[in-house]
Amino acid sequence: MKQFFTVLGGMGTLATESYVRLLDKRTPIHRDQDYLDYIVVNHATVPDRTTWILDHSKPDYNQDLIEDIKQQSLLKPAFFVLICNTAHYAFDRLQAATDIPILNMLQETVNEIKKIKPDAKKVGLLATRGTVEAGLYDHYITAAGYEEVKPTPEIVDMTEDLIYHDIKEGGHSDGKKYHELVRRMIEEEGADIVILGCTELSYAEEMNPETEYPVADSQSIIVDRSLEKGLALRKNN
């Protein structure tokens, strides 16, 4: 297979399945051969990213991802897609393991805000405790000229309950919980738009789309970038 890309997934599996569904759904097709060529690495046993970020004595997830990147680099994909916001904590370390570009989900998400909510000034964030406490989105948000609105400890707890209890453990989303999180960030914390900074939240958005408040869905956005680059590969082949 030539002119393909590799998806580094499994963090978690439902979120990776959501990425693939959205990618295939948005691909303009008339026959089997119109779909994009890609490899999905569903590495479900990668250690939890937040656990390591909060305590470096725990298993380091980066070792598993670096091994995946090196293995896949031998096949020479055109680019990598990393389906996990929190894994971007060591993005430079992962990129250093290969000469093949890895799409930066965090940068792409913030770039898209000006299209979704052109008048936005305050950007809220819903994400795992690891992403929030490590400030993974901080630089991208402030560099783009926005004021960041971080979730309160209570909202982080509610977010992780949805991510870990409902989706990762239960295998399903809870639309009511998801919509309440977005509402609180907008109405109570004053955000103009909310970044869904965890692919489990993107899964929640796919299952129960937010229709009242503006969100920047990190996974949906990286799907669009993947599609653009994938179609360009097809065109240039």
For the chain, which residues make up each domain, given as ranges? 5-104+221-236, 106-218
Residue 84 among the catalytic residues: yes
Residue 198 among the catalytic residues: yes
pLDDT at 147: 98
* pLDDT tens digit sequence for 176-224: 999 999 999 999 999 999 999 999 999 999 999 999 999 999 999 999 9
The residue-averaged pLDDT of 72-95 equals 96
pLDDT at 92: 95
The single residue of 84, 136, 195, 233 carrying the catalytic annotation is 84
The single residue of 46, 82, 198, 215 carrying the catalytic annotation is 198
> How many degrees, rounded to 5, is the angle at CA 218 between CA 109 and CA 36?
100
The two tokens of residue 54 are 């909060």
* pLDDT tens digit sequence for 132-185: 999 999 999 999 999 999 999 999 999 999 999 999 999 999 999 999 999 999
Task: Identify the CATH number of the domain defined by range 5-104+221-236.
Answer: 3.40.50.1860
Q: Please tell me the class of the 106-218 domain.
A: alpha beta
Q: Same CATH topology for 5-104+221-236 and 106-218?
A: yes
